[in-house]
Amino acid sequence: MKTAVILISGRGSNMQALVDARPGLDFRAVISNRPAAGGLAWAQSRGIATRVVDHKAFPSREAFDAELARAVDAFSPDYLFLAGFMRILTPGFIDRYPRAILNIHPSLLPCFPGLDTHQRAIDAGVKLHGATVHFVTPALDHGPILVQAAVPVLPGDTAEALAARVLAQEHRIYPQAARWLAEGRVEFRGADVVQVRGSGVEGDWAISPRDPP
């Protein structure tokens, strides 16, 4: 069975979705950069090892990432899942785990990388918004896309209402991505394109809210 470590900074709702879905991965640990992250207690309640690497204790991103790497390597994971991990990782850390770090971002990348995606989508007048699971590269929020889910932007939407609809889809597609990895179905086509063997259209680019998981 392939193994994984999850990195969080807060309550870890996507972490909970990953673990509860039982996608066929051995989640060996949950690591947080914030000692007060609510997701740590939840992970402990599920019998998952937890660690804290407090970013405030380090003088630089490089020093923090070096200690984070030591914490990760203690569990020898095949994959790292970022689940609300609010740190920008250094290229040195990312290069240490090539094609093994995944993130879920609350927009249809490459649109709206970075923060405040829901309000930015509303302000831009787009008709579709959503979430993206992608492999992490040194370019922020621009790694190869594994799967996306779209939701409509409704008239009168607030950022909070739109965020709630997007989050429901995040909780669907992140476990699906984990399952594909566990089954060994994820294939790279060059440096920038990922496809899922045997999944048809669903695995190539998008899952709409009405499609089965």
Closest CA to 211 of 202, 146, 145: 202
Q: Please identify which of the residues 55, 105, 118, 171 carries the catalytic annotation.
A: 105
Question: Would you tell me how many other CB atoms lie within 10 Å of the CB of residue 212?
Answer: 6
DSSP 85-138: ---PPPHHHHHHSTTTEEEEESS-TTSS-SS-HHHHHHHHT-SEEEEEEEE--S
- The token pair at 172 is 């669907």
Helix, strand or coil, per DSSP, at residue 165: helix
C-alpha of 74 from chain center: 21
- Residue 129: active-site member: no
Count, residues in the chain: 213
Which one, of 138, 142, 118, 139, lies nearest residue 129 by Cα? 118
Computed on alpha carbons and rounded to an integer, the radius of gyration of the chain in Å comes to: 17
CB atoms within 10 A of CB 152: 14
Catalytic sites, residue numbers? 105
